[in-house]
Amino acid sequence: MRLTMKTILRTCSLLALLMFSFSCEDSFLDQEVPHRVSADDLYVDETGFEIGLNGLYALARTERSGITSNNNPTGSSNNLMSSMMMGGTDLIYANRPWNAERFLNDWGAQVVGGDAAIYFREVWEWLYETINAANTIITRGEDFVEDIPSDQQDELATFNRILAEARTIRAWAYRHLTFLWGDVPMPLEESTGLNFRVDWQRISITDVRAQMKQDLEFGVIHLPQNHIDDGKIVRAVAQHYLTELLIIEGDFDEAINTALAAINGPKQLVTARYGENEGDAGTPFTDMFLDGNSNPSQGNTEALWVFQNGFEIEGGQGHNIMRRWLMSEYSSTSGGSPGLEVTVERGGRGQTRLSASTFMLDLYGARDVSNNLLVNDDRGGEFAWRTSFTIGEGDPSSAGAVGSDIFLDFSSIDPLGDRFRPYTRKWDWSHAINVRESRSFNDQIYLRLADTYLLLAEAYFKNGDPGNAAFYINALRDRANATNITAGDITLDFILDERARELFSEEHRRYTLLRNDKWMERTNLYNTVAAGALTERDELYPIPQSFIDANIDNKVDNNPGYE
């Protein structure tokens, strides 16, 4: 699953890019395809379909890499795809107001012009490229299944599993699109030269989610319960996203049943130390994020979907920039940073584009003068969050005496331009060959069972059963050595707080708040940078003008407020 098939992606998804790109002809002419592989040649046997799935998974991994204005599959830019999915919320603000992501603070005119447009166009095109890659596998796979003899049950099961992977990832891509843009075009067939269209219509979010539901239900039936490969998805992934969809629909009984099926399957919460550095100081919670501990084959029983990365892997992408965006720029001498030496132990080089709000940092409990938690919660402790550095021999004398501690900035106001804020250590990783490398090449958990526990708790609460909601939340709090709660503690806001404590920078926080009608309320309350700037218009992003202009045979109206 580490193979990134750039050639296949370009072949299978080229027409999707032509449909949704602003400068279609230039985009086509600029492609450099050293080896052209046609879909007709590829999708002829199980091996070909698995190679196609490799390319589809590579596209999904792009979420945690950088976008580029040229739609470069290597994602080498500094603009993190997922920042528009988790930033500009109660938990995360854009630390640098002068860069492309400043729209997450300022909203207003910043959302409709300037650098923000890069995000919307690139993410839109990436998601439709992913959908077309999935559609190609689904369309050809369904044709292939029709020709499998009835007595070949093993082969039929294999191809239904392949279809289930593609259909679940297609639903995942439409999940992104509906939360980001609402009503969107919904292609469900492979794009070919014979069905090229410039008359797309926006399909209602209700109808798109109905298709997502069908895809996820197929995944629940045909995906394996256990990982057959570290990078592949399992049944619990489809069950997880189906649970969320059922909660949105208000079908809480079925949401509870679906989540329980995932939780009572073979995947289990990590509750004991394991793997890399097991003998060193640490916690079960933080063990999951150490390099060498992310994958099921490495002992991670909680992981449902793990993004596979690697340095100098044939085919290319294999990296992410999560660490670069979500840590401290401690090596700088600007914005309060002390200019410390970049080291492997410190997690490598970061640029702190996104910072945790003070509200987020305070969710774990009060701290003493040394910024140590007074209330135990391993998710907010020293192995989970970086709050200080010990001065070493390679650090400048201006930083302090060797062996002394220098504490990161816990100021009560979320400061713009402050590059020395506390940060999550979930994405710590350093390239030993080049500690100043911008990218990370470690495998990373993308979805884990703890998130499903929290969806289950939410479904129980909304179904009038706060006791069971507290029970499943306490399973996570027990693991973190946090105080247990009771049914009387459960409110929707408490569940959202608990999601923050457990899933900071993992969940798509914007989506969580939007589906609970809490985005504006909580962002205005707890994000001191963005408070007062966002409006109801901003609950959806603007449809990229590049798509509107290219769809010449049907005028597409933009979302309200963006006309």
* Section 252-273 average pLDDT: 98
Instruction: Provide CB contacts within 8 A for 60, sequence distance 6+.
Output: 130, 169, 172, 173, 307
Backbone angles phi, psi at 552, to 5 degrees: -70, -20
What the block records as the tokens of 326 is 């979500």
Q: 228: pLDDT confidence band, cut at 50, 70 and 90?
A: very high
Name the least confident of 7-11, 247-251, 382-386.
7-11
Q: What is the pLDDT of residues 89-109, one digit of tens each?
A: 999 999 876 777 889 999 998
Check residue 8 and give its pLDDT.
32
* Section 430-458 average pLDDT: 88
Check residue 68 and give its pLDDT.
56
Q: What is the pLDDT of residues 104-119, one digit of tens each?
A: 999 998 898 767 888 8
* Section 3-9 average pLDDT: 32
* Section 469-480 average pLDDT: 98
Q: 14: pLDDT confidence band, cut at 50, 70 and 90?
A: very low
* Chain mean pLDDT for the chain: 87
* Section 222-243 average pLDDT: 97
Q: 470: pLDDT confidence band, cut at 50, 70 and 90?
A: very high
Check residue 168 and give its pLDDT.
98
* Section 157-169 average pLDDT: 97
Report d(CA 228, CA 157) in Å as an integer: 14
Check residue 77 and give its pLDDT.
57
Token pair 């907010």 is found at: 380
Name the least confident of 169-173, 311-315, 359-363, 523-527.
311-315
**With pLDDT > 70 as the criterion, what percentage of the chain qualifies?**
89
Check residue 17 and give its pLDDT.
36
Name the least confident of 4-18, 204-218, 442-456.
4-18
Identity of the highest mean pLDDT range in 9-13, 297-301, 323-327, 438-442 = 297-301
Provide DSSP, 5-53: -HHHHHHHHHHHHHHH-SSHHHHHHT---SS---HHHHTTSHHHHHHHH
For 99, which DSSP code? S
Using alpha carbons, select from 199, 280, 267, 209 the residue that is nearest to residue 237: 267
* Section 240-257 average pLDDT: 98
pLDDT at 561 over 80: yes
Identity of the highest mean pLDDT range in 30-34, 415-419, 472-476 = 472-476
Q: 553: pLDDT confidence band, cut at 50, 70 and 90?
A: very high
Identity of the highest mean pLDDT range in 135-144, 360-369, 437-446 = 135-144
Check residue 472 and give its pLDDT.
98
Instruction: Provide CB contacts within 8 A for 133, sequence distance 6+.
Output: 9, 12, 13, 16, 52, 55, 56, 59
92 DSSP β-pair partners: 356
pLDDT at 293 over 90: yes
Check residue 316 and give its pLDDT.
44
Check residue 324 and give its pLDDT.
81
Q: 128: pLDDT confidence band, cut at 50, 70 and 90?
A: very high
pLDDT at 19 over 60: no
Backbone angles phi, psi at 383, to 5 degrees: -85, -15
pLDDT at 232 over 90: yes
Q: 67: pLDDT confidence band, cut at 50, 70 and 90?
A: low
Check residue 312 and give its pLDDT.
58
Report d(CA 304, CA 43) in Å as an integer: 27
pLDDT at 274 over 80: yes
pLDDT at 34 over 70: no
Check residue 140 and give its pLDDT.
95
Domains of the chain: 6-319+543-550 (1.25.40.390), 322-431 (no CATH)
pLDDT at 474 over 80: yes
Q: Within 10 Å of residue 382's Cβ, how many Cβ atoms?
A: 17
Q: 328: pLDDT confidence band, cut at 50, 70 and 90?
A: confident
pLDDT at 387 over 80: yes
* Section 409-420 average pLDDT: 78
**With pLDDT > 90 as the criterion, what percentage of the chain qualifies?**
66
H/E element holding 94? strand 92-94
Check residue 74 and give its pLDDT.
44
Check residue 488 and give its pLDDT.
98
pLDDT at 193 over 80: no
